[in-house]
Amino acid sequence: MTGHLIVTDDDATRVITLRRPEKKNAITQDMYRAMSEAIDSAQDNADIRCLLISGGVGAFTAGNDLDDFLKDGTSNSGAPRASAAGTFLHSLANNSKPIVGAVEGVAIGIGTTLLFHCDHVLAGATATFSTPFIHLGLVPEAASSLLVPRAIGHHRAFALLVMGRTFSAEDARAAGFVNAVTPPGQAEAEARKVAREICALPAEAVAISRKLLKPPPEEMTRRIDQESHLFSERLRSGEAVAAFKAFFSRKKG
């Protein structure tokens, strides 16, 4: 486990908390590996009946730690995107336990797309959602090109994934990928209540019903791999190189 991720079991709920507040919970490769382990190790554990992913009260996540991500993603030109991130996405796709998301503050990039693997999402009133992949010369990931249009329709998906529009908590609720908006700072508390409600239901019936509602895991992993291949190619494109140079210049300035 990494010190930037806290995993605790609260009765039958495994709570996965991103804890890197100084970087708005930007995700490193070590954090991806720790999240994968937390998800994978719950699969054959009958005592764990629900997963909860939270970023605490400040921010859900600012997305990938770009310094760490680019270093890992460009070190092996044959790899379809950074391997730890890819492993995490496969863990999400193959997960059989209900997932509840609790979002406060910013949910950028993977912070938004992972929510489409969740089954119930609570958002604080000041939460915002954005996926600026195209602005960086990249393409969507996490099977979002499959899941997002299915969940919110093509037109909203285009605005979110291609145009990079920012959705407010109310926008996300209206679009249908947030179940309810809570007062600021209350998303995790409400998410824990939802998780307890799910845990009280018959576990086998929940698992079968969830499987019926979602695309087959192999369909999601195929799309993840397709996106990852294109993502890796785009990292080396002139558009992406220029966009990242501009991004890091703004950070230094």
In the three-class reduction of DSSP (H, G, I as helix; E, B as strand; rest coil), residue 155 is classed as helix
Tens of pLDDT, residues 173-198: 999 999 999 999 999 999 999 999 99
The reply to whether 16 falls in a domain is yes
Domain around 57: 5-185
Q: How far apart are CA 4 and CA 7, in angstroms?
A: 10
Report the CATH number at residue 51. Answer: 3.90.226.10
Q: How far apart are CA 127 and CA 95, in angstroms?
A: 26
The four Cα atoms 155, 157, 161, 164 give a dihedral, to 10 degrees, of 60
The four Cα atoms 10, 15, 19, 21 give a dihedral, to 10 degrees, of -100
Q: Output the CA–CA distances (angstroms, integers) from residue 158 to 3, 47, 69, in the order listed.
A: 36, 40, 25
Q: How far apart are CA 226 and CA 98, in angstroms?
A: 25
Note whether 121 and 100 are within 8 A (CB): yes
CB neighbours (10 Å) of residue 174?
A: 14
Question: Can you give the pLDDT at residue 75?
Answer: 46
Has residue 1 got a pLDDT over 70? Answer: no
The reply to whether 239 falls in a domain is no
pTM (global) more than 0.75? yes
How many domains in the chain?
1
The reply to whether 203 falls in a domain is no
The reply to whether 243 falls in a domain is no
The reply to whether 204 falls in a domain is no
Angle between the 29-40 and 83-94 helix axes, to the nearest 10 degrees?
Answer: 20
CB neighbours (10 Å) of residue 67?
A: 12
The reply to whether 232 falls in a domain is no
Question: Can you give the pLDDT at residue 72?
Answer: 61
Closest CA to 66 of 31, 36, 26: 26
Segment 130-155 shows an average pLDDT of 97
Has residue 79 got a pLDDT over 50? Answer: no
Residue 205 is which amino acid? A
The reply to whether 94 falls in a domain is yes
CB neighbours (10 Å) of residue 153?
A: 12
Segment 57-84 shows an average pLDDT of 71
What tokens were used for 245?
Answer: 């140079």
Note whether 73 and 232 are within 8 A (CB): yes
The reply to whether 192 falls in a domain is no
